[in-house]
Amino acid sequence: MPAKLLEGSPIAVKIKEQLKKEILDFDKGLVLASIQVGENSGSVSYIKAQTKAAEDLGIEYRPYKLGDATTKVELTALITKLNSDRSVNGIIVQMPLPKQIDYKGVLSFIDPLKDIEGVNPENLGKIILAKSKILPPTVAAVMELLETAKVKLYGKEVVVVGASEIVGKPLSMLLLNKFATTTVCHIATFESGKLSSHVNRAEVLVVAVGKAGVIKGDWIKEGAVVIDVGINRINDKIVGDVDFVTAASKASLITPVPGGVGPLTTAILMRNLVEAAKLQRANS
């Protein structure tokens, strides 16, 4: 039997409806500051989606565009200024940054209470302690999809493919916190020829690699739940990392790309902004 679709858009709509009500509580409105350094095509579609989501909710989206030759000192000076600007509720530093700036060294400058992408080491570290109030939106989106579909994680074989700081690693901790038996695969798993055997064990499979078709449909375990985080542009079409058609013939539930994790991520980013504003209010 073909898999059911696990779509993010209907959940995103509900989240935004709820946010519209909560935002009314903030008399002065909410402001999201976005910093883009240089001309990187990778962040253009994210910025577009963020601008639209903010606009729909009546949130002011304040873009800051810095030149290609910006130094780390200049970038962190702007972050510090926005940290102390009481009108700003959330700060996003768009990736990728130009080569001369070490992005890991920049993230700790974002005030943890304004870090709506959950990338400051303090917020990332709290995930291990299950104490994080602001989660990276993509991983929160994956958890929300699993929760909405009532997928039980306790004792399940869960395989995460991709081990980036922003998706695979924090996600594996959240899954572990839910007592899933979690395996994390990455480039070395692939290069050692072991990726297919790990994927084939997965009762729940989450893929965040960024390579179209890296996961073959016939590797999927019968009845598995498949969450595809990947976004790849192929001939003007957006596809995920999983061979969708063959995977859908084996899985019980599968996210479409586009329409799965992506729309939910943007809605959760806005929810993080509202949560951050509440934390700021409580701390002022």
Q: Which strand ranges, in their side-by-side order, compose the sheet holding 90-93? A: 60-66, 31-37, 90-93
Q: Does 237 bind ligand NAD (CB under 6 A)?
A: no
> Contact with ligand NAD (CB under 6 A): which of 229, 242, 248, 251?
229
Q: Residue 87 or 196: which CB sits closer to ligand NAD? A: 196
Residue type for position 48: K
CA distance 57 to 19: 8
The stretch among 126-134, 149-157, 172-180, 206-214 that binds ligand NAD (CB under 6 A) is: 206-214
Which residue's CB is nearer to ligand NAD, number 33 or number 269? 269
Question: Applying CB under 6 A, does 190 fall inside the site for ligand NAD?
Answer: yes
User: What track of x and - describes contact with ligand NAD for positions 250 through 269 (by CB under 6 A)?
Assistant: -----------xx--x----
Q: Are 74 and 98 in contact (CB under 8 A)?
A: no
The yes or no reply on residue 216 touching ligand NAD (CB under 6 A) is no
Which residues 6+ apart lie within 8 Å of 183 measured at CB?
A: 157, 158, 159, 160, 198, 201, 202
How many C-beta atoms surround the C-beta of residue 181 within 10 A?
15
Is the Cα torsion angle 68, 69, 71, 72 positive or negative in sign? positive
Chain residues 80-99 in contact with ligand NAD, contact rule CB under 6 A: none
Query: Please, what is the minimum distance in Å from the beta carbon of residue 241 to ligand NAD?
Result: 7
38 binds ligand NAD per the rule CB under 6 A: no
What is the DSSP secondary structure assignment for residue 242, as one 8-state letter? B
Q: Between residue 128 and residue 157, which ones bind ligand NAD under the rule CB under 6 A?
A: 138
Closest distance to ligand NAD from the beta carbon of 43 (Å): 11
From the list 258, 270, 11, the residue with the least C-alpha distance to 150 is: 11
Residue written as token pair 């806005």: 270
Q: Which CB atom, from 81 or from 194, has the smaller least distance to ligand NAD?
A: 194
Rule CB under 6 A: choose which of 214, 225, 226, 247 binds ligand NAD. Answer: 214
**Please, what is the minimum distance in Å from the beta carbon of residue 208 to ligand NAD?**
4
Rg of the chain taking only CA atoms, in angstroms: 19
3-state secondary structure 161-194: ECCCCCCHHHHHHHHHHCCCEEEEECHHHHHCCC
Q: Which is nearer to ligand NAD, 57 or 88 (CB)?
A: 57
Interface residue with ligand NAD among 32, 110, 166, 270 (CB under 6 A) is 166
Binding site for ligand NAD (CB under 6 A): 138, 161-164, 166-168, 185-187, 189-190, 195, 208-211, 214, 229-232, 261-262, 265
